[in-house]
Structures are given as structure tokens and as C-alpha cells.
Amino acid sequence: MDETEPVPPRGACTDSQSSYRKDVVKGAVITASLGSFNFGFNMAVMNTVWPVVNHFFQWGDGQSADTHQALMNTMVFVGAAAGSLTAAYFLRWGRRRTMLFNCVGFIGGALICIFSPFEWLFDLGRFISGYSVGIVTVAVPSYITEVAPPEAKGHYGVYHQLMLTVGIVVGIAVGLPIRQETAEDGSADLREFDFLWWRVTYVFGAAVAFVQAVLLLMCYRFETPTFLIGSGRLDEARSVFVEIYGPSQATVAFNAALNASRGGGVEEKDEQKEKRTLTAGQIVAPADIEQGGEGGRGTDREEGGQKKGIDTSPTDLTLIESSQLVSSTPPGQSPPALIQSADDAEKTKETEEEEDDKTGAMGVRSLREALCNNTYFRAIAIGCMLSAFQQFSGVNVVISRSNAIFAKSGVTGFYASLASLGVTVLNLVTTLFASRLVETMGRKRLLFLGNLGQGVALVVPAVLFIAIASGSPVSQTAVSAVAVIGVAGFIVAFAISMGPVVWIYLSEMFVGEAKGQALSLACGVNWAATIGTVFASSFMSSVLTFTLFCGMSFLGAMFVWANILETRGLPVNVSPFFPETVERHRLHQQRQQREMEKGTGSGGTEEAEDGKRRREGGDRDPQGDSDIAATSEPGATVRGKERRRSDAETTVNG
């Protein structure tokens, strides 16, 4: 199989930006998404093992059992809220290090649940696992967004939700061997196997976390390029781009990422700045050749036997070469280098805009500054509301308490567990198609249609339960069938829209150094909404459950239509909520396109000049004699200087 996968470019993306190493990107994304597996697994594992837990801790039946179940489920969500709110602190040390730390949390939480003899200790294990789940919601989407190419972020972003659904399926499936019917009332005798197996179920989550840690330590040992550029570690970022894109495409990708991050105040380390310093002989000696010395021969300026180093910023290079060309241009002619090219004007404009960015959104360095910035505050508010609407739809109630929902609808015992498993498998299968839709339809359209679909799927069950509450005669079979079909339709709509796209969108909409903290806040709101809906649902009737979540889905659709902006195809640190970043990205693409066109069109001109030099000077090598010709011909002088300027720029960039 070819190790690169061409991706159709979007907008003004060049062909060179549309090729990447599929095996490297996919492997890194899948490794990161193993954390998402534990996200889903820890939410769903209590669903089918709950009867044994109830019997083990002797909670009995009725309101007491519902309260204990709600508290035990809520511990995961409370831990997740704490983890997501503090995830930004860990992200400062790197995305990969954060995921490694998270593996320890998943393993530790699982071990406590396996060996805990007390309820409070079991709750502690659930809280620790939940804390790691919260960090996953921030770290994994960030890692995927920053590793995947801009044109494939949506495709790979779905892997987070896909592995989450795999974890949900496994979490429910591992509890099926437990005797659901005999333990339903909390008083029947259970087999010894059941008491052993409900502990063993937590081994699956610990094993996946261990595998993820090994892969991060042994195979995928690189940080994301965005993090490295933001930390000023440009050489390491170049190496990662080479690993992702290959040597031929790495430079283009690196320059685009560096351009997107400039507004955030990216600074080079001292050793990288030294590489941009040229010796006096490389820059000043050409001027001495034309201007000084007898017989047209110049000498290098030396001080103590050493050539003086000159910081070759673009402005310095322009001044030096302009003075050289003025001195060597015959009277009555305009110096060629003093005519500013379109590229130089564009670079000057970009530099000015980057300085403005440092006082705008890209200059925001903390959550406090972001909340005081009107533009950033609006983006955070929209992100938090979108995150809350994902949970107000009731998805985690369906996932963590599907057995109880089906039981209230007349589907009990083993059939309730089977229905829950069927719904989660449907969730998994549907999510597989989301990777295509998220890039073809875009984020906004998919979010809008998904919310509408969720509301429509819950309308019929809501109306049916309202009819039952009002005393209308409805058969129990019809109630059970409609409940299962309504939940299944809801899951399909959620799996192609609000499920994967919200995480992708949140990781794309924020920019600059405050991005991680803004994302943490939005994820914290997500888990706060989860806690409220999951805990309250334990005491809600079927009528209220389906009616409330149906209405929230329609409200979510209206919110998306009014506030969400499309982010498809934009690189990291470029967001439509911050117009200056989009404009800078557009200018960079235009300049890059002109450079490519100029490079393509200059080949014929250079060959013609080489032929002319051969005719005028015999068979001498034009490149080797350019410096000598510079002392005798004005035209050759210009050509020699242009060649030396190209060499100097190559040294600077190298």
C-alpha cells in the first residue's frame, strides 16, 4: 500500500499540501483515540453490571436503589467535569505527555474498582476514571486536530467519537454474561461467576490504557507540530512535519503552520536564531567586490582575523542589496532591487497584521484575557452553549441508563440489555459514515440536520407517553416498540452530527495560547450539563424524559442555525470567529501561489540568460564566472547579485 494518501485540496490549498503519510497519521490518531475508548467504556460499563452491584452492596429496590445508582453514575461525570476544567494545565506540558498521564489514571481507577470492598472506595475509583475521561475530552480532539492535515481534520476527528462508541459497545457487552433477570430485584441469589465477573469487566479498560501507554512510549513519540511551534521548538516541529508529510512536502506544511501561529508571538530559541546569522563575507563581500580595491577587486571586512556576523533580517538584506545595486547601476538607469515586488509588499503587509494580531485574539494568552476580549468572549460563549446542547439532548442518559429507560417502557431483564447493546451497535455503525459526511456536508449543516433528526425521532415516543399519561388505552407492546425505535432513531441522528462534530468543532474554533483553556471550559460545561441531566433523569418519568429531550433537540437546531460558522478546511489557529486569522491565512496562500507561479515561469528566462552569457563569453560556466563578470558588466553585476541573494536566502532558510 502506498504510504501517502492524496486528499482533494480545498480553497486555495496547493497540490503540495494535499499529500501526507496515511500510515503515520492514522496510527497516531488511533493511538490517541484509545483514550476515547475508555471514555465510552467507563460511561457504559455500569449499565449491565448494575444488578450485581445493587445486590453486592445490598441497596434493595425502589427509590433507594435509584438514588445509589444515580450517585454512582454521577461520580464519573463529576470526575470528568474536574478533569476537563484542569486539562489545560496538563496540555502545557504537551498533548502526548497528557495522554500518558491519563493512562495512569485509567489504570489506577480500574484497579480500585476491581479490588474495592467498600462503596466509598468504589466511588473513588469511578471518580478517578471520570477525571481521566474529562482530560480525554480535551486532549484527544486537540491532538487529532493538530496532527491531521487541514483538509482531513474532519475525517480523522471522527475517530474520537468512533472509538468512544466502540467503548460503549464493549462496556455493555461485557456485562451480558451476568444473570439479569434473577438479580433484577436485588434479592435473588446470584452465581459465584456473576460476583467475580462484574469485577473483571473493569480489566478491559485497564488493558486498553496499558496498550495506549506502550504505543505512545514506543511507536508514536512525537508531540504535535502546533504545540512545538508554540513552544518555539521549530527544529522539532520540522522533524514531525517530515514524518507526517515526507521530506518533499514538509516545508510547505511547516511554513503554513508557522504563518498561522505567528500572531501568537512564536519566538525562536537562541540556537535557531544563530542559524539565521550569516558571515560578513556572505553579505558584505559582494559590495566590496564592486566598490573597493584596485582593479575592481575587493577584500572582506575582518576584525581580529574573524569575519563579523550580521543578523540577516529581511530588512537588513534589502538595505544591503539596495546599496549594492545603487552603486553598480549606470547613470540614468533605475536600480532593479529598489523596485519592490508584490511578494515583498505582501510580506510587509503580513508583518503589520501580525503585530496587530498580538493585541487581538492571537495575542490573548489566558482565559481571563479571553473573557475580557469581546471577540474571544463571543466564541467561548458559543462553544459552551454548543457543548451544553450536546448533553441537553439526553444522549448520556440514553447511554448510561438505557436499561432503566427501556424497563420503564416495558422492556425488562435480558431483553433490556439486548436492546441497549443493539442501540450502541447502531451508534457505532452510524458513526462510521460520519467521517465522510463531516467533510462533504460541512460542520454547520451536519449539526443543524442532526439536531432536527434527534427531535423528530423523539416526537412519536413523547406523544405516545403523553397519551398514556392522559389515560388513553395503548398496548404495552406498542409502547415498548415505539420506545426502542425512538431511541434508535435518536442515536442515528446523534451519531452523525452532535456526537463527533461537536468535539471536532470545539477543537477548531479557538486560536492562540488561550485555545486550550477555552476548550477546557467548554468541555467543563459539557460535563456539568451531563451531571444535571443524568442525575435528574433517575427521577424523571418517561413522559418528561422524552418530551424534554425532544424539545432541547429542536432548540439546539435553532441555536446552530443562528450562531455556528463553518470551519471546514481551515488549518489550526485559523477560525472564522477571528476574521484576522482568516485574512492572514488568505494572504499567505496568495503569496505562496505567486511564488509557485514565479518559480514555474522563471525557468525559461534563466535558460535564455545562460545561453546569452555563453554566446558573449564563450563556453565558460555562467555560474562559476558570475562573480568575475560582476566586476566588468553592469548587467552581469545585477545577475551576480541576484544569484548571491538567492544563496543568502537559502542559507537563512536552511
Regarding whether 632 and 550 lie in a shared domain, the answer is no
Rounded CA-CA distance 312/318 in Å is 9
Backbone angles phi, psi at 583, to 5 degrees: -65, -45
pLDDT of residue 204: 92
Distances (CA, A) of 341 to 74, 214, 344, 412, 600: 63, 52, 5, 76, 17
CATH number at residue 451: 1.20.1250.20
Query: In 10 A of CB 365, how many CB atoms?
Result: 15
Rounded CA-CA distance 462/489 in Å is 13
Rounded CA-CA distance 477/468 in Å is 13
Query: In 10 A of CB 264, how many CB atoms?
Result: 24
Q: Please check whether residue 573 lies inside any domain of the structure.
A: yes
pLDDT of residue 172: 81
Regarding whether 519 and 639 lie in a shared domain, the answer is no
3-state SS, 175-237, equals: CCCCCCCCCCCCCCCCCHHHHHHHHHHHHHHHHHHHHHHHHHHHCCCCCCHHHHHHCCCHHHH
| 412: DSSP letter | -
Whose CA is closest to 79, among 513, 423, 530, 438?
530
pLDDT of residue 618: 47
Regarding whether 526 and 470 lie in a shared domain, the answer is yes
Rounded CA-CA distance 446/151 in Å is 17
Beta bridge partners, 311, equal: 277
Distances (CA, A) of 87 to 90, 178, 261, 372, 453: 5, 36, 21, 21, 32
Rounded CA-CA distance 488/215 in Å is 35
Q: Please check whether residue 307 lies inside any domain of the structure.
A: no
| 21: DSSP letter | E
Count how many domains the chain has. 2
Distances (CA, A) of 550 to 405, 555, 641: 15, 9, 72
Q: Is 169 helix (H, G, I), strand (E, B) or coil?
A: helix
Distances (CA, A) of 163 to 29, 106, 136, 160, 261: 11, 16, 12, 6, 30
Rounded CA-CA distance 170/598 in Å is 56
Q: Please check whether residue 337 lies inside any domain of the structure.
A: no
Rounded CA-CA distance 288/100 in Å is 58
Regarding whether 630 and 524 lie in a shared domain, the answer is no
What is Dmax (Cα atoms) for the chain? Answer: 113
pLDDT of residue 285: 39
pTM of the model: 0.67
Question: Are the CB atoms for 105 and 129 separated by under 8 Å?
Answer: yes
Question: Are the CB atoms for 436 and 152 separated by under 8 Å?
Answer: no
Question: What angle is formed at CA 185 by the lines to CA 182 and CA 186, rounded to 5 degrees?
Answer: 90
Regarding whether 191 and 52 lie in a shared domain, the answer is yes
pLDDT of residue 129: 93
C-alpha cell at 207: 488493558
Whose CA is closest to 493, among 442, 444, 426?
426
Alpha-carbon torsion, ordered 446, 451, 453, 454, to 10 deg: 140
Regarding whether 486 and 375 lie in a shared domain, the answer is yes
C-alpha cell at 286: 559582494
Regarding whether 516 and 456 lie in a shared domain, the answer is yes
Query: In 10 A of CB 598, how many CB atoms?
Result: 12
Q: Please check whether residue 553 lies inside any domain of the structure.
A: yes
Q: Please check whether residue 351 lies inside any domain of the structure.
A: no
Q: 397-400: long-range contacts at Cβ-Cβ below 8 A with a sequence spacing of 24 or more?
A: 397/533, 397/534, 397/537, 397/545, 397/549, 398/423, 398/487, 398/490, 398/491, 399/40, 399/43, 399/44, 399/47, 399/168, 399/424, 400/43, 400/44, 400/46, 400/47, 400/73, 400/534
Rounded CA-CA distance 461/590 in Å is 54
Question: Are the CB atoms for 107 and 209 separated by under 8 Å?
Answer: yes
Q: Please check whether residue 556 lies inside any domain of the structure.
A: yes
Q: Give 356: exposed, middle or buried? Use CB within 10 Å, 0-12, 13-18, 19+.
A: middle
Regarding whether 171 and 77 lie in a shared domain, the answer is yes
Residue type (1 letter), 493? A
Whose CA is closest to 125, among 212, 42, 214?
42
Whose CA is closest to 202, among 316, 44, 12?
44
Q: Please check whether residue 9 lies inside any domain of the structure.
A: no
Question: Are the CB atoms for 144 and 159 separated by under 8 Å?
Answer: yes
Distances (CA, A) of 140 to 37, 366, 587: 11, 21, 31
Regarding whether 436 and 320 lie in a shared domain, the answer is no
Q: Please check whether residue 457 lies inside any domain of the structure.
A: yes
Regarding whether 287 and 147 lie in a shared domain, the answer is no
Regarding whether 619 and 530 lie in a shared domain, the answer is no
Regarding whether 636 and 511 lie in a shared domain, the answer is no
Q: Name the domain boundary from 568, 583, 598.
A: 583
Give residue 58's region: left, alpha or beta (phi > 0; psi -120 to 50): left
pLDDT means per 10 residues, the chain with 654 residues, are: 40 48 92 94 81 74 68 84 91 92 94 88 92 94 91 88 89 78 51 79 93 95 90 90 88 83 50 42 39 42 41 43 49 48 51 52 80 92 95 79 66 71 82 83 92 90 78 72 82 90 92 88 91 78 83 94 92 89 85 78 51 50 40 44 47 42
Beta strands per DSSP E along 261-318: 277-279, 302-303, 306-307, 309-311
Which residues span the domain enclosing 285? 280-293+312-332+611-654
Q: Is 617 helix (H, G, I), strand (E, B) or coil?
A: helix
pLDDT of residue 60: 63
Give residue 238's region: left, alpha or beta (phi > 0; psi -120 to 50): alpha
